[in-house]
Amino acid sequence: MKEKGKKKRDVAERKGRAKKSRPTKAPPVATATTAERENVANDAAKVRAKSDGKAPKKRSTSRKGPKAPPLVEQSLDLDDEEDLVREAPELGIGARMIPPHTSWADPFDSMPPTTPAHGDVAEQIKSLEARLDGLIRTSVARSQPEDATATPDAGSETPNGSPELAVHAAEPLQPESSRGTYFQKQWGREGLRSRSEEVDDFGLDPAYEGRIRPVAEFLYRHYFRTKTTGVENLPTRGRCIIVANHSGTLPLDGLMLRTALRMESGGKRDVRWLAEDFLFYLPFAGVFMNRVGAVRACQENAERLLGKDHLVAVFPEGVHGIKKLYRERYKLQRFGRGGFIRLALRMRATIVPCAIVGAEETNPLLYRLEYLAGLVGLPYIPVTPTFPLLGPLGLLPAPSRWRISFGEPVSLDHHGPEVADDHVLVGRLSDRVRGTIQAMLESGVRERRSVWFG
């Protein structure tokens, strides 16, 4: 009996030691139950259906077909797509951010980075011109009839012995050939021959002005029979501002002033005049004025011109000068706020007053329609003895006799640039120049015997 009890104790001790030597198990990880996973999947389906405008459908845990590859690594321990949907809001790729038709593994489209252009600009321009010429030739070749580009050749045969029509390649078109089209003449290399490559910062085209110059000289010499006096009052060099009266329904005074200085001074001084802003909103008018020497009126452009020692002509009356009725002819309007005086003070330029007589009679303004002018982008619609009765022909200027007179220069050297902000002084100097021009106009009107014969 003692031996049996001893054996039982030995067995019990061995079992105890074996139990103590076993490794301890880790506590079980709390995982979501199947019911909780179904609830999360149903909530995600409701969100998708709400964003797509469809009724929500209950998702089933069983799915058919191949499963899409997961977006995240396998180390996240996601068993199915419901777990991926649950983790998606935390990753920032929920149903509101990814289109419904895009699967998890589809790559998003991305634009390839553009490589910056290198090389000389002139080489790039030449390559673009060559490409444009090639496109023009291709379009011309396609527009040619088939019988002109393809001819049958009875002697050519296919490898199996059957006859075949051989197509001859069309010869490349030469710009100088008689087969040149309208597009080649207007926008190809042939069209660029009539344009100058030396266009200044303000759009003056010497080649284009050279073609317009005979017309301007004809108007100056034979049509208006212009008489110019006082050219010796203009300085031969340095900064100078010509202040003139503005008149005429069609403002031709700037072009005639430029022509007068070119012809009377022997081309020693080249004048650039500041044109009204509305001209540059009209079709073709602004481009034409730029190419013949006009510059858009603003302080910045005037300062740049004077900085290059150009001779600048300004018309302080602006649009109000060409809006004057015939009964108000040769009566100067208000000279604005004295912008030309401030310009002369800042740039240390000399002011030369100028009076133009005869432009008021070229298109006598009897009445102006202002309530319809906004429809065509004009400050007013003129009513003259010939317009709109004769249509566009009514805008032709009458051949009145013109007189252009330059007065004594007004020097502002005794005033410094700092007084340009003195409104009282600027107004007094502006009235002084305006009074000088008004006296010159009255003198010129008294001296002429006839509007047509001077």
pLDDT of residue 18: 64
What Rg do the C-alpha atoms of the chain give, in angstroms? 44
Give the residue from 105, 343, 340 showing the smallest Cα distance to 244: 340
Q: Where residue 110 falls among pLDDT bands split at 50, 70, 90?
A: very low
Q: Are 418 and 346 in contact (CB under 8 A)?
A: no
- The CA distance from 127 to 132, in Å, is 9
Question: Which SS3 state, helix, strand or coil, does residue 314 take?
Answer: strand
Q: How far is CA 209 from CA 81, 170, 301, in A?
A: 76, 40, 20
At residue 263, the pLDDT reads 92
Q: How confident is the model at residue 109 (pLDDT cuts 50, 70, 90)?
A: very low
pLDDT of residue 145: 55
Q: What is the pLDDT of residue 321?
A: 92
Q: How confident is the model at residue 155 (pLDDT cuts 50, 70, 90)?
A: very low
Mean pLDDT of 235-244: 93
Closest CA to 226 of 199, 193, 260: 260
Q: Is 227 left (phi over 0), alpha (psi -120 to 50) or beta?
A: beta
User: Cis link prior to 388 (omega < 30° from 0)?
Assistant: yes
pLDDT tens digits along 430-440: 999 999 999 99
The yes-or-no verdict on residue 181 having pLDDT over 70 is no
Q: Is the pLDDT of residue 286 over 80?
A: yes
Sheet of 311-314, strands arranged across:
227-229, 403-406, 350-357, 240-244, 311-314, 271-275, 295-296
- Percent of the chain surpassing pLDDT 90: 43
Per-residue confidence band for 278, with pLDDT thresholds at 50, 70 and 90: confident
- pLDDT: is 404 or 283 the higher one? 404
Provide the H-helix boundaries in 76-203: 81-91, 121-143, 146-149, 182-187, 189-192
Task: Say if residue 194's pLDDT is above 60.
Answer: no
Mean pLDDT for the stretch of residues 64-87: 49
Q: Scanning the structure block, which residue is given the tokens 């809006």?
A: 323
Given a cut of 90, is residue 136 above it in pLDDT? no
Residue indicated by tokens 């990880």? 29
More confident residue, 133 or 289: 289
Q: What is the pLDDT of residue 407?
A: 96
Q: Is 233 or 21 the better-scoring residue by pLDDT? A: 233
| Most confidently modeled range among 108-117, 120-129, 142-151, 297-306 | 297-306
Q: What percentage of the chain reaches a pLDDT higher than 70?
A: 64
pLDDT at 129: 83
d(CA 188, CA 137): 10
37, 81 contact by CB (below 8 A):
no
- pLDDT, greater one: 39 or 127: 127
Query: 335 in helix, strand or coil?
Result: coil
The HSE-up count of residue 204 (CA atoms within 13 Å, CB side) is: 15
The pLDDT value given to residue 406: 97
Check pLDDT > 80 for residue 346: yes
In which element (H, E) is residue 44 found? Answer: helix 34-52
- Average of per-residue pLDDT across 64-76: 47
Separation CA 320–CA 311 (nearest Å):
24
When mean pLDDT is compared over 51-55, 70-74, 216-220, the highest value belongs to 216-220
pLDDT at 103 over 80: no
* More confident call, 285 vs 38: 285
More confident residue, 407 or 123: 407
Length of the chain: 454
Query: Is the sign of the CA dihedral 132, 133, 134, 135 positive or negative?
Result: positive
Q: Is 149 a residue whose pLDDT tops 50?
A: no
Q: What is the pLDDT of residue 119?
A: 56
Supply the mean pLDDT for the chain: 76
393 has a pLDDT exceeding 60: yes
Sole residue written with tokens 């009107």: 445
What per-residue confidence (pLDDT) applies to 197? Answer: 63
* Residue where the block lists tokens 């030995």: 10
For the chain, the first-to-last Cα distance in angstroms comes to 162
pLDDT of residue 184: 59
Mean pLDDT, to the nearest integer, of 61-85?
A: 48
Where residue 72 falls among pLDDT bands split at 50, 70, 90?
Answer: very low
